[in-house]
Structure 1
Amino acid sequence: MSRALILVDVQNDFCEGGSLAVAGGADVAAKISAYVEDHHEEYSAIVATADWHDDPGAHFSAHPDFVDTWPTHCRIGSDGALFHPAAEKAFEHVEAIFRKGHHSAAYSGFEGFTVEADHRASLADWLRDRAIEQVDVVGIATDHCVRATALDSAEEGFETTVLLDLTAGVARETTDRAVAELRAAQIELRGTPVVAPA
């Protein structure tokens, strides 16, 4: 079966020093690079997703609740929206980038699009066009965009695995809840997510 690897939102704003930093994000970015260097030949395709916000409405808040509203992050053209330099080696193998959230929250990579030959392609269509049947998901954050991307991957009919050792979660409670939800959706889980102590 053809397998793809999805790198979810390995961006500066989600790593230490960013506006919405996840503890362990930079370390996970480096581990993803090492993993891709060692395993890229096992994948038929490697792609990445990125938050790419212009005016996402209530997703941004001056007084965020960190559940539905968040500090400003990953604005188009900002340094925070760039991929973290620790993941640079991984991106040498990335074939397409799916940007999401121009005017919405857009947690799932399956809400993103890439531009190919002057037309927009969704992640699901792009994978199907390449006869991908299995998907591995890594990135930031376990309890938000990784969770949403993996759930949508399974919903789209791909056999889905989350490599938890290559993910970082915002908080223990929400990460544990996300892992339980992924398991209930019959998504294969390998490893343990990085998450800051409560």
Structure 2
Amino acid sequence: MDPNTALIIVDLQPDFLPGGALAVPEGDAVLAPIRALLDAGDYATVVATQDWHPAEHRSFAANHDARQVGEVIDLDGLDQVLWPVHCVQDSPGAALHGALEARRGRLDAVFQKGTELGVDSYSGFFDNGRRKATGLGDWLRERGVESVHVCGLALDYCVKFTALDALELGFATTLIADATRAVNLQPGDGEAAVTALREAGAQVVDSAALLANTAMQETAS
């Protein structure tokens, strides 16, 4: 793997997996390819993002009178989907999944997002209003990273916006398609996210292709 390429694992947390508060359908299918990528040890830089909400977060339907999950409201000038209570700071559902906790030595950093009460943060780089950066972009640049591979949950929200912001910040960006799954609040949201990423300039590959390419490079060397 190019030493200037970073792996970004988005929101691999129990609340987004089967049985979690905001479970992504087939979300556990991302675990095997992500484990394989980590076990291969080919990335010089590996980072994770972590949804990390205060209990009173205004993106939670429970924090609005007579509002339901899935409704869209105006939240301080931004359209906001209302979600179930999830990834509350220091709760078990907000922890990094065991697949990452067991590999803490291979994670170079964890960037928390969604910490401000009045604005959600889908992207690992900025909140939804781009009012505050998480520091991920500067951190990657300081380490000489020029390209990123993005995976995790969920494709049509946090993965999509993390990848779009990476592109806007000038990083060559690749979506690892088999290492992400979509919420699909509306049918086809996942496919639309992939289309939007391709149109914005992202590459889309499977983990097997990345691992095979690495194996070929090792054989050639």
Q: Following TM superposition, by how much is the alpha carbon of 1:82 offset from its aligned partner in structure 2, in angstroms?
A: 0.7
Q: Following TM superposition, by how much is the alpha carbon of 1:88 offset from its aligned partner in structure 2, in angstroms?
A: 4.0
How many residues align? The count is: 183
User: Scaled by the length of structure 2, what TM-score is found?
Assistant: 0.77
Distance in 2 separating the partners of 1:95 and 1:60: 30
Distance in 2 separating the partners of 1:66 and 1:174: 16
- 1:190 equivalent in alignment to 2:192: no
What SS does the corresponding residue of 1:75 show, helix, strand or coil? coil
Residue pair 2:10, 2:49 contacting (<8 A) in 1 also: yes
Stretch of structure 1 that moved more, 82-91 or 92-101? 82-91
Question: Aligned match of 1:95 in 108, 111, 114?
Answer: 108
- 1:143 equivalent in alignment to 2:156: yes
Q: Which is higher, the Rg of structure 1 or of structure 2?
A: 2
Q: Which runs of 5+ in 1 are unaligned?
A: 113-119, 193-198
RMSD between superposed Cα atoms in Å: 2.1
Residue pair 2:29, 2:179 contacting (<8 A) in 1 also: no
Per the alignment, residue 216 of structure 2 pairs with none
Question: Aligned match of 1:125 in 138, 148, 152?
Answer: 138
Distance in 2 separating the partners of 1:170 and 1:160: 22
1:71-93: per-residue Cα shift (whole Å, max 9, x none)? 01000010010112244444441
Q: Which runs of 5+ in 2 are unaligned?
A: 63-67, 73-80, 128-132, 208-221
Per the alignment, residue 44 of structure 2 pairs with 44
Q: Following TM superposition, by how much is the alpha carbon of 1:23 offset from its aligned partner in structure 2, in angstroms?
A: 1.7
Return closer, same or farther for 1:70/1:83 CA change in 2, 3 Å cut-off.
same
Distance in 1 separating the partners of 2:177 and 2:39: 18
What letter matches 2:157 in structure 1?
Answer: H
What SS does the corresponding residue of 1:48 show, helix, strand or coil? strand
- 1:111 equivalent in alignment to 2:126: yes
